[in-house]
């Protein structure tokens, strides 16, 4: 068995290397095909070391960063070939493909980057931390009460942009010796100012229900996914009424660990297709597109798992339900919204129609929602979060000017090349 296992691992590594090399070639060709442009100086960079599988972390920031770029030019520093290929295909922001530390250093040397954003905790972020005289700022890829949101890695950044009071309380509870007031900046949820888009259906009398489950998780404490425990029952119940339209948006990693989870996902997709074939006016939607926003704004009710989607929907200030994990080992932070949310148990999933009607009409449920929206995101008036985001960047730029003026005569801060970090991807 050991020899077979080793052989499979070797084959997998070879295939990964081939895919990576193919992606490198695609990226080089795409960049070479682009028309030459005058030298450009960026002030803000987004460091993204991940591959295409985690592109959802970048895509949610496209619109806020595109707006910011009108004042402070923004570039994405992409370390992975598959990630760079996806970024170039999206064509939302300028991309610099910097797979090695030498590539990174060469690009930075020609730029005036003063603020570096990070959307996740990839271990290769450490390679960018080498560069001083610029602010390293964690902006994350969502707001949630998962353990990820209180990792001690927050301390590695100069600043963290957080959503609001809930994030502040969460970090204060968990992190030791962390100056919350100095090192965090509250900005709300700028993405919520862009919750719009073209609907893939014609609105009618139907109640629209968004079901957006997360993936199955890779360890018991993260077993939040509901596709195999809640999903088929609730979707079946909604499809049977003729009065509901389902928008199904599963996590892109659904099924990568558990084949049965992936099989349940496929059955739900097939059920939606069958329902549309039987009644074309139903216009149920299987949504695997890159844009997140219109779904959150259009749905009358949302059913989501414990994930950032809870808080994406909460920022829309509209009714939602959260699936309760079946695995008792799944970690649930009940200090925040999850202490008072509208839970959907697995054995109640088939009763989703009555559950949805309740959260839409119950005055107490509506009042609770309003309280928690303010607690997590502050002022959700359209444009308010964007204004706070831009003000935060302006503050960082002003601080950069102040620090740079005080240290202008110091030695160059750029580190010498370290060969052990100069790794190809």
pLDDT at 4 over 90: no
* Amino acid 144: pLDDT: 74
Average pLDDT over residues 304-308: 91
pLDDT confidence band for 34 (50 / 70 / 90)? confident
Nearest to 55 by CA among 160, 146, 180, 141: 141
pLDDT at 411 over 60: no
Contact predicate 393/44, CB 8 Å: yes
pLDDT at 425 over 80: no
Instruction: Report how far residue 288's alpha carbon sits from residue 200's, in angstroms, rounded to the nearest whole number.
Output: 12
Among 37-46, 220-229, 346-355, the minimum mean pLDDT is found in: 37-46
Average pLDDT over residues 61-70: 97
Task: State percent of the chain over pLDDT 90.
Answer: 77
Distance of CA 315 to the CA centre of its chain: 14
Residue with tokens 């009042």: 367
DSSP character string of 88-135: HHHTSS-EEE--SHHHHHHHHHTS---EEEESS--TTHHHHTT--SSE
* Amino acid 351: pLDDT: 98
pLDDT at 6 over 60: no
Which helix (H) or strand (E) covers residue 137, if one does? Answer: strand 135-138
Structure confidence by residue, pLDDT tens digits, 231-265: 999 999 999 999 999 999 999 889 999 999 999 99
Instruction: Report how far residue 60's alpha carbon sits from residue 249's, in angstroms, rounded to the nearest whole number.
Output: 15
pLDDT confidence band for 11 (50 / 70 / 90)? very low
Higher pLDDT: 141 or 40? It is: 141
Crossing angle (nearest 10°) for helices 165-174 and 363-377: 70
Instruction: Report how far residue 330's alpha carbon sits from residue 174's, in angstroms, rounded to the nearest whole number.
Output: 18
Nearest to 373 by CA among 295, 300, 320: 320
Average pLDDT over residues 206-232: 96
pLDDT at 1 over 90: no
Contact predicate 175/154, CB 8 Å: yes
Nearest to 65 by CA among 141, 170, 14: 141
Instruction: Report how far residue 121's alpha carbon sits from residue 128's, in angstroms, rounded to the nearest whole number.
Output: 12
Nearest to 85 by CA among 128, 51, 47, 36: 51
Radius of gyration of the CA atoms of the chain, in A:
23
Residue 321's DSSP bridge partners are 303
pLDDT confidence band for 20 (50 / 70 / 90)? low
Nearest to 161 by CA among 191, 193, 194: 191
Counted residue by residue, the chain has a size of 425
Sheet harboring 159-162: ordered strands across? 95-97, 74-78, 44-48, 115-118, 135-138, 159-162, 184-186
Residue 45's DSSP bridge partners are 75, 116
Contact predicate 47/128, CB 8 Å: yes
pLDDT at 39 over 90: no
* Amino acid 142: pLDDT: 83
DSSP state, residue 326: S
Could you tell me the pTM of the whole model?
0.81
* Amino acid 340: pLDDT: 92
Structure confidence by residue, pLDDT tens digits, 169-205: 999 999 999 999 999 999 999 999 999 889 999 999 9
Instruction: Report how far residue 55's alpha carbon sits from residue 292's, in angstroms, rounded to the nearest whole number.
Output: 12
> Phi/psi at 74 (nearest 5 deg)?
-120, 140
pLDDT confidence band for 25 (50 / 70 / 90)? confident
How many C-beta atoms surround the C-beta of residue 330 within 10 A? 18
Express the helix, strand and coil content of the chain in percent, nearest 5 each.
50, 10, 40
DSSP state, residue 229: I
Instruction: Report how far residue 30's alpha carbon sits from residue 85's, in angstroms, rounded to the nearest whole number.
Output: 8
> Where do the H-state alpha helices sit in 344-424?
352-361, 363-377, 384-407
Average pLDDT over residues 29-45: 76
Residue 212's DSSP bridge partners are 304
* Amino acid 421: pLDDT: 47
* Amino acid 407: pLDDT: 81
């Amino acid at each position: 068995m050991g020899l077979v296992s080793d052989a499979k691992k070797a084959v997998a590594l070879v295939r990964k290397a081939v895919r990576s090399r193919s992606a490198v070639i695609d990226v080089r060709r795409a960049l070479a095909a682009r028309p030459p442009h005058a030298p450009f100086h960026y002030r803000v960079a987004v460091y993204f070391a991940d591959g295409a599988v985690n592109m959802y972390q970048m895509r949610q920031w496209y619109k806020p960063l595109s707006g910011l770029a009108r004042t402070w030019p923004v570039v994405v520093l992409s370390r992975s070939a598959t990630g760079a290929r996806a970024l170039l295909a999206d064509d939302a922001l300028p991309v610099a493909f910097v797979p090695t530390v030498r590539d990174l250093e060469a690009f930075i040397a020609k730029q005036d980057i003063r603020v570096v954003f990070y959307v996740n905790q990839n271990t290769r972020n450490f390679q960018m931390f080498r560069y001083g005289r610029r602010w390293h700022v964690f902006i994350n890829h969502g707001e949630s009460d998962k353990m990820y949101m209180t990792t001690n890695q927050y301390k590695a950044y100069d600043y963290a942009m957080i959503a609001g009071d809930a994030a502040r309380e969460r970090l204060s509870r968990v992190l030791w010796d962390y100056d919350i007031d100095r090192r965090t900046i509250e900005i709300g949820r700028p993405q919520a100012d862009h919750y719009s888009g073209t609907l893939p259906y014609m609105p009618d009398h139907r109640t629209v229900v968004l079901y957006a489950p997360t993936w199955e998780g890779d360890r018991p404490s993260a077993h939040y996914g509901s596709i195999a425990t809640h999903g088929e029952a609730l979707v079946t119940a909604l499809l049977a009424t003729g009065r509901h339209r389902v928008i199904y948006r599963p996590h892109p990693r659904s099924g990568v660990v558990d084949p049965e989870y992936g099989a349940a996902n496929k059955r739900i997709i097939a059920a939606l297709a069958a329902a549309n074939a039987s009644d074309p006016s139903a216009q149920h939607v299987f949504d695997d597109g890159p844009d997140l926003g219109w779904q959150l704004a259009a749905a009358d009710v949302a059913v989501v798992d414990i994930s950032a989607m809870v808080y994406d929907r909460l920022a829309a200030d509209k009714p939602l339900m959260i699936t309760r994990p079946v695995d008792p080992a799944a970690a649930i932070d009940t200090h925040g919204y999850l202490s008072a949310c509208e839970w959907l148990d697995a054995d109640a999933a088939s009763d989703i129609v009555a559950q949805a009607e309740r959260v839409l009409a119950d005055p107490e449920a509506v009042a609770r929602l309003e309280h928690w929206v303010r607690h997590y995101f502050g002022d959700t008036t359209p444009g308010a979060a964007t204004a706070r985001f831009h003000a935060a960047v302006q503050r960082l730029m002003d601080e950069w000017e102040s620090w740079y003026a005080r240290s202008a005569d110091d030695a160059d801060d750029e580190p010498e090349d370290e060969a052990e970090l100069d790794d190809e991807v």
